[in-house]
Amino acid sequence: MIRTVLIGAGSGASYFLAGLEKLKAREIQPVGIPLVNYMKAHRPEDIDVVAVYDVDNSKVGRDMYSIASKLSPFSSVPRTLKDIVVSRGLHCGSLRGLDVDASGLEDALGSPQQALEEFISELVKLKPDVIVNVITTEPMRFVESEGEFVKLASTCSAGATLAYAYAASEYSLRTGNPVAFINLTPPAAANSPGVVSRFERAGALVLGDDAATGATPLTADLLEHMAERGRRVLSVAQFNIGGNTDFLSLTEPERNHSKEVTKSSMVADILGYDAPHYIRPTGYLEPLGDRKFVAMHIEYESFGGFRDEVIVNARINDKSNLAGLMASIVPVAKSLLERGVHGSYATVNRFYMKMPGPRGTKNISKIVAYQDLLKELKKLDII
Ligand X SMILES: NC(=O)c1ccc[n+]([C@@H]2O[C@H](COP(=O)([O-])OP(=O)(O)OC[C@H]3O[C@@H](n4cnc5c(N)ncnc54)[C@H](O)[C@@H]3O)[C@@H](O)[C@H]2O)c1
- Told to check if 91 binds a copy of itself by CB under 8 A, we report no
- Residue 91 interacting with ligand X (CB under 6 A): yes
Q: Which is nearer to a copy of itself, 199 or 351 (CB)?
A: 351
Residue ranges in 147-186 that form contacts with ligand X under rule CB under 6 A: 160, 184-186
Site for a copy of itself in 269-328 (CB under 8 A): 276-278, 282-288, 291, 293, 295, 297, 299, 301-317, 320-321, 323-324, 327-328
199 to 218: interface string for a copy of itself, x by CB under 8 A: ------------------xx
CA distance 10 to 245: 8
Please give the C-alpha separations between residue 312 and each of 32, 236, 281, 320, in angstroms, as whole numbers. 21, 11, 16, 20
Please state the separation of Cα 209 from the chain's center in Å: 6
Smallest separation, CB 355 to a copy of itself (Å) = 19
Cα–Cα distance measured from residue 142 to residue 148, given in angstroms and rounded to the nearest whole number: 10
Please answer whether residues 234 and 300 qualify as being in contact, where contact means their C-beta atoms are separated by less than 8 angstroms: yes
| Start-end of H helices in 159-212 | 159-175, 193-202
Phi-psi region of 16 (alpha: psi -120 to 50; beta: other; left: phi over 0): alpha
**Contact of 197 with 353, CB cutoff 8 Å:** no
**Residue 87 or 321: which CB sits closer to a copy of itself?**
321
Of 214, 281, 343, 356, the one binding Mg ion (CB under 5 A) is: 214
Considering CB distances under 5 to 8 angstroms, the limit depending on partner class, which of a copy of itself, ligand X, Mg ion, none binds residue 118? none
Helix axes 193-202, 159-175, angle to 10 degrees: 20
Is 262 near Mg ion (CB under 5 A)? no
Selected from 370, 377, 382, 383, the binder of a copy of itself by CB under 8 A is: 370
User: Which of these ranges, 92-100, 129-137, 213-221, 321-329, lies near Mg ion under the rule CB under 5 A?
Assistant: 213-221
Rounded Cα gap, residues 383 and 378, in angstroms? 5
Binding site for ligand X (CB under 6 A): 7-13, 53-56, 59, 89-92, 94-95, 134-137, 160, 184-186, 210-211, 213-214, 244-246, 318-319, 321-322
Binding site for Mg ion (CB under 5 A): 214-216
